[in-house]
Amino acid sequence: MRERRFEPRHMCSDLVKVRLHDAADPKEFVANLEDISPSGACLLLEAALLDGASIEVICSTCRLKGKVRYCRFVEIGYVVGVAFDERQSWSRERYDPQHLLELPDFYLPLGVAGTR
């Protein structure tokens, strides 16, 4: 898959809540935050979400609003890509996931800001 974000993704693992706003009756799920960048995130959920759905990722210290860009079934659930509504929504100062791995630039794909 082609890299679409223009800044580095940070691999992480933390439980977050996901609130689905598009349903007539808003639903809330628990998800595992798999990676995060200032403009988006990847989540692992037990339920499928529709592409384009408006959601809110509720972390311990912030709420990140966005839209579902993709949802794919994998053996252990659904991998959901989220683009945040506002660029630069996330920063480590705003929310520091419990397990965050910041990779050096030489591990990042070409075309990602800060790479060679």
**Residues spanned by the domain of 93:** 10-107
CATH number at residue 61: 2.40.10.220
Question: pLDDT grade, residue 11 (50/70/90)?
Answer: confident
Q: Say if 3 falls within a structural domain.
A: no
Q: Say if 67 falls within a structural domain.
A: yes
Residue 56 corresponds to which tokens in the numbers above? 């809110």
Predicted confidence (pLDDT) per residue in 16-56, tens digit: 999 998 767 789 999 999 998 889 999 999 999 999 999 99
What does pTM read for this prediction?
Answer: 0.77
Q: Say if 68 falls within a structural domain.
A: yes
Predicted confidence (pLDDT) per residue in 64-90, tens digit: 999 999 999 999 999 999 999 987 788
What is the per-residue pLDDT for 77? 96
Three-state DSSP class for 100? strand
What is the per-residue pLDDT for 52? 94
Q: Say if 1 falls within a structural domain.
A: no
What is the per-residue pLDDT for 5? 52
Q: Say if 115 falls within a structural domain.
A: no
Q: Say if 25 falls within a structural domain.
A: yes
What is the per-residue pLDDT for 113? 47
Q: Say if 114 falls within a structural domain.
A: no
Alpha-carbon distance of 37 to 83, in angstroms, equals 10
Question: pLDDT grade, residue 6 (50/70/90)?
Answer: low
Contact (CB, 8 A) for 11 and 39? no
Nearest to 5 by CA among 53, 69, 71: 69
Q: Which residue's entry shows tokens 């311990």?
A: 60
Alpha-carbon distance of 88 to 67, in angstroms, equals 15
Domains held by the chain: number: 1
